[in-house]
Amino acid sequence: MDTVTVTICAGTACVVMDGSRLMLLEEQLPPHLKGRVKLRGERCLELCHRQGAALAPHVLVQGEPMDQASFERIAARIEALLAAGS
């Protein structure tokens, strides 16, 4: 696996819970991960309905849902996926 796709929810609950800041993910990544992430935004991932708005912000990392997403948690998951794919 050469790249990991990260989809960030831009729904109301996720934006209110600081999810819009996650759109700066590429700037926050360690140097060895830069260029290995495809970043996308979606209007709403509908995860609040399944997992709860209190767990926002929600993202998908390579299609896998992550709640209470943060730069650190996303970067750790990206590293794990890249390590497993190599």
Q: Identify the pLDDT of residue 21.
A: 93
Q: Identify the pLDDT of residue 57.
A: 96
- DSSP E strands in 1-86: the ranges are 4-9, 37-42, 59-61, 64-66
Chunked mean pLDDT (size 10), the chain, 86 residues:
94 92 93 94 91 90 96 96 87
Q: Identify the pLDDT of residue 75.
A: 96
Q: Identify the pLDDT of residue 49.
A: 84
Q: In angstroms, rounded to a whole number, what is the distance separating the alpha carbons of residues 45 and 43?
A: 7
Enumerate residues 6+ apart whose C-beta is below 8 A from 32.
Answer: none
**CATH architecture for segment(s) 4-85:** 3-Layer(aba) Sandwich (3.40)
